[in-house]
Amino acid sequence: MTDSPPNSYSPRWFDSFHASIPEERTAREVAFICDCAPLPDFQNVLDVCCGMGRHARALAARGYVVTGMERDELALTRARELGGGPRYVRADIQHYQPPSSTYDLVIVMSQSFGYFDPATNRGVLQRLARAVRDGGRIILDLWNPAFFAAHAGEWNFETPTGPVHETKRVVNDRLHVELAYVDGSHDTFEWQLFDRDAMEAEAHSVGLNVIAVWTDFDATAPPSPHKPRLHFILKR
């Protein structure tokens, strides 16, 4: 089986990690989004790198008006088949320019920001900043550099499609991950990592402010080096 290009989610990845996400997890993540950007003030939502639309559908069911953006054609086809209210557009985050000042809220979930070199990542954030109105917010769900500095290495674990061997390493401010599947195929990923200071500098450079940082999809839980995720709440 042919390996996927770096930072491209293969059908094998979707089958192993995405298709089996329980509704309870999605409900918790969406409840957090709603806490951070409640109705009616944040009704118009752009879900960037929306995958098969699990957050988009759940937000639409709560009364938000949602546009999902995704580059993977198979994932987008599945999202459209599942329906549920959102509209979808096919685009690549590296080049996507949403209409200016259109959205109350932009969400980038599941570590879908930071794939590129620093200048390109800044350009992505700048375009997303332009998409939200004054007072609008952006939620970035990212990896926590403090956690992965202490948890690099190799692991084997089971997925619904079989065992996966995972290798993680941090080089400077970048996390590198390789997944090796039982059929011999591989997925490789790389992210620029941001702690609070780095994200505050990045946000300020594009006209945004960091107004909160949480973990575990809990708006009462501050960041911890023992938790793998950081949720940055940015305001224009």
How many angstroms separate the CA atoms of 137 and 39, rounded? 13
Give burial (CB, 10 Å; 0-12/13-18/19+) of 231: buried
Global pTM?
Answer: 0.94
d(Cα 109, Cα 127) in Å, to the nearest integer? 17
Any idea which fold 11-143+194-235 has?
Answer: Rossmann fold (3.40.50)
The pLDDT, as a whole number, for residue 21 is 87
The per-residue pLDDT for 191 is: 97
What is the distance between the alpha carbons of residues 194 and 182, in angstroms, rounded to a whole number? Answer: 32
Query: Which of helix, strand or coil describes residue 7?
Result: coil
Quick: pLDDT tens for 176-208.
999 999 999 999 999 999 999 999 999 999 999
Confidence of residue 15 (pLDDT cuts 50, 70, 90): confident
The pLDDT tens digits for 45-96 are: 999 999 999 999 999 999 999 999 999 999 999 999 999 999 999 999 999 9
Residue written as tokens 């937000």?
Answer: 59
For 165, half-sphere exposure in the C-beta direction (CA atoms, 13 angstrom radius) is 8
Mind listing the pLDDT tens digit for each residue in 114-126?
A: 999 999 999 999 9
How far lies 90's CA from each of 71, 95, 97, 129, in Å? 5, 11, 12, 19
pLDDT the model gives residue 1: 46
> Where in the chain are the domains?
11-143+194-235, 148-186
